[in-house]
Structure 1
Amino acid sequence: MPEGNVALPAMRVSYEAGALDEAALAPTWHEQLQEWLDEAVRTGLAEPNAMVLATADPEGRPSSRTVLCKTLDARGVVFFTNFTSTKSHDLQATRYASATFPWIAMQRQATVRGPVERVSAAETAAYWESRPRGSQLGAWASPQSRVVADRHALDAALAAVERRFADAEKVPVPPHWGGWRIRPEVVEFWQGRPDRMHDRLRYRDSHDGWVIERLGP
């Protein structure tokens, strides 16, 4: 093996941090997800609300990226983005997504999967008001997912937006920016266990109510 290469086949961790059984679950998926998210925050994990969002284009070709969950309630999980982005084009076409919260340090992950919808203009405006001004300006400046000439082109675009709104007390919401909500049909909670015999418990919408199922690891 060439010097400096990581011995990938030998890399393994024995997951022994906890267990998950049906009796320990909250009554609803969103309460359980909020409970785990709160624990991740208390543990001090970096970006505990980060989730890996998977989408597919109309030809079924998948792509994934990390986004930040900004709303969690019984309706679903929400993230905000540019509507001209690749992810938004995928979501507009297929109206379906999956997102995983990778709490690796806690030997846990949670995945939500289901149809998507745009959040209301009022919800978008409320979140927009909470963003730092720099992030607001960046949303106006970024041609998200499009090819740009170089870093200078991005810096120049941001400088132009700063001049445009220099005298504005508040930066308005761009018409090409807003939120998407994943409305889960399935939510899975995964807890690592020794010998790869992991706990996997799933809330599934049966259309007659939510059912809880255990899956093989």
Structure 2
Amino acid sequence: MEYPSKLIERAVEEISRLPGIGKKTALRLALHLLKEPVSASEALGQSIVELRKQIKYCKKCMNIADSDVCGICASHRREESTICVVEDTRDVLAIENTSQYNGLYHVLGGVISPIEGVGPDELNIEQLIERIKSSNGTVAEIIFALSPTMEGDTTAFYLTKQLKDFNIKISTIARGIPIGGELEYADEITLGRSIASRTAYNQE
């Protein structure tokens, strides 16, 4: 594609790096920004820079936060005896939107995937183990809310083995989520019922 300006070409190249955005969409967005006031582009650029430089991760659950401890972990209204283990922040948002869960979370930062070279050491698994150890018996249940894929099941199986020495109930969300589907794309009713009707996790 020929561009009328090197500046447009550079903008298109950078915007198209975002997931789900091709060159044509990137060009449309770049041309849209040119029609907007300069202040709008400056505000967009500043928000992205601040996002990258100032965002933090909760020291307790590893979720994205504005401070050292996220709002969920800091809340006195949450049930501290239950921890819901999820892949990333998008899953936390999806579950929170159901209003069916009032416990805490732990964000793994991914799932075990040998094909992609992601092993247990690349995930926030050790932080989860230490969190349970330091809870002095407060944690009574761990819920696996991982996408029902091969990678999700592998991660759940590995976590179960790591948690076997703790006197903790281990459960997983009910299979109301389609096999092979992604948690973030599930509708709120299905996801809410899956959380409410969770079942004990079986290794066999």
Greater RCO (CA < 8 Å, at least 6 residues apart): 1
Alignment TM-score > 0.5, same fold: no
Task: Write 1 or 2 for the structure with the bigger share of helix.
Answer: 2
After TM superposition, the score normalised by the length of structure 1 is 0.29
